[in-house]
Chain A
Amino acid sequence: MQELIRRYGISLSVIMAAMTAFWLLALVVIPNLVLFKFSFRLYLPVDQLGGPNDVYTLKNYATFFSSPIHINVFFLTILYSSLVTIICLAVTYPLAYILAKVLKPTDTATFFLVLLIPLWVSEILRSFAWFIILSMQGPLNAILTGIGLIDKPIRWISGFQSVVIGLVYAYILFMLFPIYNAIQALDTNQIEASQDLGASTWRTHWRVIIPHAKPGIASGCVMVFMLCAGSVVVPTTLASTNSRWFTEIIQQWMFEGLDWNVGSAYAFLLLALCILFVSLVMRVLNVRLVDIAK
């Protein structure tokens, strides 16, 4: 702080500190504390506010834990978000390696330039694209029946398969970019040294490249898992009645039940899940927050 004042003077330092404080307090920390507080209060008619019923209670969380359906949806959301994360990792790791170490840099630049298009098209349109492809009369069924692979059109949009397809497509680039950045920063001499010393391709990847790519892998996994578990758009477009997502239940409480208190308890559970996942990844892969946010 003294350093700041010495360089930029009192008034400018105060302005910068005030802007930062406004951001962190009014937009980040206190809103989340309010959410937390709200989740322990009851939804009451106005005339009962401040009355004997206006107390702190665990009832909103009890609503969740006494509903087998909601618990089920919660765990299915975790399960399928993890599945999507693993698929994205498996597909993009070889891709990131090829782009960073095999392809010529100019070709890689062109490749990423083309990828800007799906990245800049909003996620709602990206999931809508799959809604068209997977629909009964859609192109996928037409091709598959056309080449005789299936006799009758398949109902793709049912269960979690369409949600997983949509989530992978929507968020896979968030896995590719951080892993590419991490591998790209690795000195190619290290890979060559490993090969010259007789390591097999697998061993080179396992002992040299993957350890170096760890921060990127951690960053990609955290982003993809968080985006999946918190996705609203993909499930509303591609899920069916037998595949509900946890965010849909939160929406129900907020918009249909109009019970913001239960809604905030559920939102807090989602937040807690993401915090848990971030700390788990940091522990398992042994990376710091600074590495993840790169």
Chain B
Amino acid sequence: MNSQTFAKITMRVYLALFLAYMLLPLAIMGGAGLNNTRFPSVYPWVGITDRWFVDLWNDQRMWGAVRNTTWVALAVVAISVPIGTAAAILLNSVKPKVRSFLYGFMVAPILTPGAVIGISTLLFWNSFGVSAGLYLSVLGQVSFVAAYVMLLVLARLQSFDPGLEEAALDLGASHGQVIRRILVPHLYPAIGAGAIIAFFQSVENFNVTLFTRGNSDTLTVYVGSKIRSGITPTINALALLLIIVTVVCAIIYEVLRRRAEKRAAALVAVEE
């Protein structure tokens, strides 16, 4: 065996090991949701059961948490997407000095620990007499989620030709039309990606929510308190469901991507 094939094999093994390392823990956790033991584990394997799913289905607190999580996530999308988009457009049309100054403040929330964001949000709104609750969780999450949206839209704006706006204005379009018909359609992919990321960031969030939620549950807080208060495999059942949803989303995403690729290739072929 020469050294090149050896290097190739080593690389393949390394990649395979890393994938196994990333996926096996999730498989073990999900699998424990099917095992008929009191403490969540895959070893010893006692037998497949659906009792943990039945328990989960009957848990009213879990359903409340699902509802709260959904509302919070939708609110975060609804607020952070317009803010992030507006901030990116604004950033793109100010002087370089102002731009780097504002940019620093805009990315700062991404580099701030969630606990700090949560506590500062809580203290700030408390000084206006607003007590802790899920609406504070929304505001706390928006402060850093908007930054992600801003970065995505800003990247997309780099490929935008401002000449199109000039042309539209010269031809008598109103300012509203320039935004609606020229700018926003170009930004659609970034806005869509931003909305998806905002939604998932919100659903996943634990740190900011923990300090701002008051007495309300979100799904992550629910899981957290279950882990602390006594573990039953119902959490694993929930985890398995969430993983399945993720896998389905990933497959849909891939199918759409491949289809778009094919279409693009066909278009090139036609043009030639």
Given A3-B93, A4-B94: A117 and B143 interface contact (C-beta under 8 Å): no
A residues less than 8 Å from B53 (CB atoms): none
Are A117 and B23 within 8 A (Cβ)? yes
Within residues 78 to 100 of chain A, which ones have a CB less than 8 A from any CB in chain B?
91, 94-95, 98-99
How many whole Å from A26's CB to the nearest CB in chain B? 8
Within residues 1 to 58 of chain B, which ones have a CB less than 8 A from any CB in chain A?
11, 14-15, 18-19, 21-23, 25-26, 28-29, 32, 39-43
CB-contact partner of B169 in A7, A103, A135, A236, under 8 A? A7
How many whole Å from B21's CB to the nearest CB in chain A? 8
Are A271 and B224 within 8 A (Cβ)? no
A230 interface residue (CB < 8 Å to B): yes
How many whole Å from A180's CB to the nearest CB in chain B? 12
Are A34 and B123 within 8 A (Cβ)? yes
CB-contact partner of B86 in A16, A128, A137, A223, under 8 A? A16
Are A12 and B200 within 8 A (Cβ)? no
Given A8-B179, A23-B143, A95-B15: A230 and B82 interface contact (C-beta under 8 Å): no
Binds A, one of B59-67, B108-116, B185-193: B108-116
How many whole Å from B55's CB to the nearest CB in chain A? 17
How many whole Å from A100's CB to the nearest CB in chain B? 12
A171 interface residue (CB < 8 Å to B): no
A229 interface residue (CB < 8 Å to B): yes
How many whole Å from B99's CB to the nearest CB in chain A? 10
A residues less than 8 Å from B116 (CB atoms): 32, 35, 230, 267-268, 270-271, 274
Given A8-B175, A267-B120: A24 and B107 interface contact (C-beta under 8 Å): no
Closest to B223 in A: A124
CB-contact partner of A23 in B41, B111, B146, under 8 A? B146
Closest to B175 in A: A9
A199 interface residue (CB < 8 Å to B): no
CB-contact partner of B123 in A11, A35, A94, A236, under 8 A? A35
State how many residues of chain A have any CB contact under 8 Å with chain B. Answer: 89
Are A128 and B227 within 8 A (Cβ)? yes
User: Within the assembled complex, what's the spacing in Å between the Cα atoms of A114 and B41?
Assistant: 24
User: Within the assembled complex, what's the spacing in Å between the Cα atoms of A26 and B139?
Assistant: 9
A290 interface residue (CB < 8 Å to B): yes
Closest to A17 in B: B90
CB-contact partner of B106 in A24, A30, A91, A237, under 8 A? A24
A residues less than 8 Å from B21 (CB atoms): 169
Within residues 149 to 188 of chain A, which ones have a CB less than 8 A from any CB in chain B?
169, 173
User: Within the assembled complex, what's the spacing in Å between the Cα atoms of A117 and B200?
Assistant: 12
Are A122 and B139 within 8 A (Cβ)? no
Q: Which residues of A contact B (CB under 8 A)?
A: 1, 3-4, 7-9, 11-12, 15-17, 19-20, 22-24, 26-32, 34-35, 38, 91, 94-95, 98-99, 102-103, 111, 113-118, 120-126, 128-133, 135, 137-139, 142, 169, 173, 222-223, 226-227, 229-233, 236-237, 247, 250-251, 254, 260, 263-264, 267-268, 270-271, 274, 278, 289-290, 292-294
Q: Could you pull out 6 A-B pairs where Cβ atoms are within 8 angstroms? A: A23-B146, A95-B15, A128-B239, A129-B29, A169-B21, A233-B224
